[in-house]
């Protein structure tokens, strides 16, 4: 398509054309109205003055004689101007006036008529039009008074010329405006098309240009940019996950394979085979758990779980999870209790939130045990050693517009610098490696918090770690 063709086909140009037609029609209607009214006004003025003059002349005739009227008309006929006079005898012969000839029959008809005429002092061929009134006077005399219509005709000409000029101007300016607007809009769309093509070619970092005017195109571009931002983040996440999976699942799979090989090579008795198989089942269970965790994170991050959200009291799941984990904590020599917990209404996916909280309790049980045996030094030194790190406290609280579901332990904690990293997928800190796990527990808790419009906070419990799931509070009905 040629540049001009593209321009002419643009929406902006078409809209301009529509406006152009509307404006041209409007201007034309205005001029027609103006012309009609001016014509009417001029005619009205003529009839009024002619009526007055006839009344005056008739009066002169009545009080004087036809001779006196003749003198008056002769005088008036000599004055320059557009007035016409004709005074005729009963025989039809002209006595006085400045009319040389009239259309036939006009002088015999009483009242108003529009006629062509020639002045007495003009050549035979001259011809003008006039509005005249004829009155019959007593004694058979006739009097014609009229006005030339040249003024009205000239007015019409002026208006027609103005109409032509203004319509032409509207069209020229409209077309020029249309081209200008269309070109500007097209330029911006071309920039958008160019960026989109670059993005389609695989460069996800491209962003649509925003002029900063704040018009609808800008708003559209900003929204699309936000969308691109999100897509890019998702793609990056996807790539990261697949890289992680490839890397982190390779180790347990290799281990599984090596155990099979070792069993085949060295196992002698049935019980040795049994032990080897038992090991493999455990290894496989670990793999399945990792896959389950990954799938759950994916579910939370896709936003699909948003459909299953209900309103409930956050302290309910705190109690539920505490009950579930109490025996396990006790078995490991820890106490698990629910601290202050106030009713706190949230809207969310009960299953995912319970799982997230369970992951935090699982961590607390796993890692809090490490400190007393001295396997891992607490980051804040002596404090942890003095205080027995045996207590895990769950709580449901509120903070302005947030509901806080928290798990606090007295274990080694996580140094400030490592906290952001600990949340990442498959990341296990130094002491984490001493316990079984795949480094996905906190990632899931964070993904669930994000799904609910909240966030996961890792705080210092001095000593120990306090993990908080902060969620938007729902006003209690």
Ligand X SMILES: Nc1ncnc2c1ncn2[C@@H]1O[C@H](COP(=O)(O)OP(=O)(O)OP(=O)(O)O)[C@@H](O)[C@H]1O
- The contact set with Mg ion (CB under 5 A) reads 363, 441
User: Of ligand X, Mg ion, none, which one does residue 440 interact with (CB within 5 to 8 Å by kind)?
Assistant: ligand X
- As a dihedral over the C-alpha atoms of residue 321, residue 326, residue 328, residue 333, rounded to 10 degrees, the angle is 140
User: Of ligand X, Mg ion, none, which one does residue 191 interact with (CB within 5 to 8 Å by kind)?
Assistant: none
Residue 427-456 contact track with ligand X, rule CB under 6 A, x = bound: xxx-xx----xxxxxxx-------------
Q: Which two tokens stand for residue 11?
A: 């929406």
User: Of ligand X, Mg ion, none, which one does residue 305 interact with (CB within 5 to 8 Å by kind)?
Assistant: none
**By CB under 6 A, is residue 297 in contact with ligand X?**
no
Residue 30-59 contact track with ligand X, rule CB under 6 A, x = bound: ------------------------------
Helices of type H across 267-333: 270-302, 314-331
User: Of ligand X, Mg ion, none, which one does residue 296 interact with (CB within 5 to 8 Å by kind)?
Assistant: none
Angle at alpha carbon of residue 204, lines to 203 and 210, rounded to 5°: 105
CA 110 to the chain's CA centroid = 74
Give the residue among 118, 129, 116, 119 at the shortest CA–CA distance from 43. 129
Give the residue among 218, 444, 239 at the shortest CA–CA distance from 351. 444
User: Of ligand X, Mg ion, none, which one does residue 42 interact with (CB within 5 to 8 Å by kind)?
Assistant: none
The answer to whether the CB of 233 falls within 8 A of the CB of 246 is no
Q: Which two tokens stand for residue 128?
A: 């003008």
**By CB under 6 A, is residue 325 in contact with ligand X?**
no
Question: Which residue in 378, 422, 449, 469 binds ligand X (CB under 6 A)?
Answer: 422
Nearest distance, CB of residue 364 and ligand X, angstroms: 5
Nearest distance, CB of residue 277 and ligand X, angstroms: 24
Q: How far apart are CA 291 and CA 440, in angstroms?
A: 10
379 vs 441 by CB, closer to Mg ion: 441
Give the residue among 390, 394, 393, 402 at the shortest CA–CA distance from 317. 394
Handedness of CA 120, 122, 123, 125 (dihedral sign): negative
**By CB under 6 A, is residue 61 in contact with ligand X?**
no
**By CB under 6 A, is residue 334 in contact with ligand X?**
no
344 vs 358 by CB, closer to Mg ion: 358
Q: Which stretch binds ligand X (CB under 6 A): 243-251, 312-320, 331-339, 404-412?
A: 404-412
393 vs 465 by CB, closer to ligand X: 465
Nearest distance, CB of residue 382 and ligand X, angstroms: 18
Q: Which two tokens stand for residue 161?
A: 């010329």
User: Of ligand X, Mg ion, none, which one does residue 134 interact with (CB within 5 to 8 Å by kind)?
Assistant: none
Nearest distance, CB of residue 230 and ligand X, angstroms: 24
146 vs 412 by CB, closer to ligand X: 412
SS3 of 36-87: the string is: HHHHHHHHHHHHHHHHHHHHHHHHHHHHCCHHHHHHHHHHHHHCCCCEEEEE
**By CB under 6 A, is residue 174 in contact with ligand X?**
no
Give the residue among 461, 464, 321 at the shortest CA–CA distance from 394. 321
Tokens 């896959």 belong to 291
Q: Which stretch binds ligand X (CB under 6 A): 137-145, 214-222, 267-275, 361-369?
A: 361-369
149 vs 371 by CB, closer to Mg ion: 371
Q: What is the largest CA-CA distance in the chain?
A: 162
What does the chain come to in residues?
A: 477
Asked if the bond preceding 463 is cis, omega within 30° of 0, the reply is yes
Instruction: Point out the residue whose Cβ comes nearest to ligand X.
Output: 432
User: Of ligand X, Mg ion, none, which one does residue 431 interact with (CB within 5 to 8 Å by kind)?
Assistant: ligand X
The answer to whether the CB of 329 falls within 8 A of the CB of 408 is no
**By CB under 6 A, is residue 389 in contact with ligand X?**
no
User: Of Mg ion, ligand X, none, which one does residue 438 interact with (CB within 5 to 8 Å by kind)?
Assistant: ligand X
Give the residue among 392, 269, 289 at the shortest CA–CA distance from 333. 392
Q: How far apart are CA 262 and CA 180, in angstroms?
A: 80
**By CB under 6 A, is residue 413 in contact with ligand X?**
yes
**By CB under 6 A, is residue 356 in contact with ligand X?**
no
Footprint of ligand X (CB under 6 A): 293, 359, 363-364, 367, 409, 411-414, 422, 427-429, 431-432, 437-443, 465
């Amino acid at each position: 398509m040629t540049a001009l063709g593209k321009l002419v086909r643009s929406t902006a140009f078409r809209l301009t054309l529509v406006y152009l037609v509307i404006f041209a029609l409007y201007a034309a209607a205005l001029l027609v109205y103006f012309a009609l009214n001016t014509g009417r006004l001029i005619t009205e003025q003529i009839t009024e003055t002619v009526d007055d003059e006839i009344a005056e002349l008739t009066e002169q005739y009545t009080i004087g004689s036809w001779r006196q009227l003749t003198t008056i008309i002769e005088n008036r006929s000599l004055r320059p101007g557009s007035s016409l006079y004709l005074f005729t005898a009963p025989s039809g012969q002209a006595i006085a006036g400045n009319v040389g000839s009239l259309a036939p029959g006009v002088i015999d008809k009483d009242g108003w008529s529009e006629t062509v005429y020639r002045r007495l002092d003009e050549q035979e061929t001259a011809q003008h039009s006039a509005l005249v009134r004829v009155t019959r006077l007593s004694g058979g005399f006739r009097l014609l008074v009229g006005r030339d219509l040249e003024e009205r005709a000239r007015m019409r000409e002026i208006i027609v010329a103005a109409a032509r000029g203004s319509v032409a101007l509207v069209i020229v300016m409209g077309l020029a405006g249309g081209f200008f607007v269309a070109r500007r809009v097209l330029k911006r769309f071309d920039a958008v098309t160019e960026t989109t093509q670059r993005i389609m070619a695989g460069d996800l970092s491209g962003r649509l240009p925003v002029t900063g005017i704040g018009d609808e195109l800008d708003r559209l571009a900003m929204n699309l940019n936000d969308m691109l931002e999100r897509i890019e983040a998702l793609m990056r996440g996807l790539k990261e996950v697949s890289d992680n999976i490839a890397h982190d699942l390779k180790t347990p799979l290799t281990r599984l394979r090596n155990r099979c090989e070792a069993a085949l090579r060295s196992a002698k008795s049935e019980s040795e085979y049994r032990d080897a198989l038992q090991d493999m089942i455990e290894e496989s269970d670990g793999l399945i758990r990792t896959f389950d965790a990954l799938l759950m994170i994916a579910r939370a991050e896709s936003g699909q779980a948003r459909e299953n959200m209900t309103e409930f009291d956050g302290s309910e799941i705190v109690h539920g999870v505490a009950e579930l984990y109490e025996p396990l904590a006790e078995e490991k020599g820890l106490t698990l209790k629910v601290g202050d917990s106030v009713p706190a209404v949230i809207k969310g996916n009960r299953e995912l939130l319970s799982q997230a909280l369970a992951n935090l309790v699982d961590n607390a049980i796993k890692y809090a045990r490490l400190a007393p045996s001295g396997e891992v030094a607490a980051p804040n030194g002596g404090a942890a050693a003095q205080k027995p790190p045996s207590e895990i406290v769950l709580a449901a609280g509120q903070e302005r517009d947030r509901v806080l579901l928290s798990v606090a332990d007295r274990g080694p904690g996580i140094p400030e610098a490592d906290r952001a990293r600990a949340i990442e997928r498959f990341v296990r800190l130094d002491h984490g490696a001493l316990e079984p796990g795949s480094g996905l527990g906190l990632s899931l808790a964070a993904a669930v918090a994000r799904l609910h419009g909240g966030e996961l906070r890792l705080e210092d419990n001095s000593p120990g770690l306090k993990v908080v799931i902060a969620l938007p509070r729902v006003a209690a009905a």
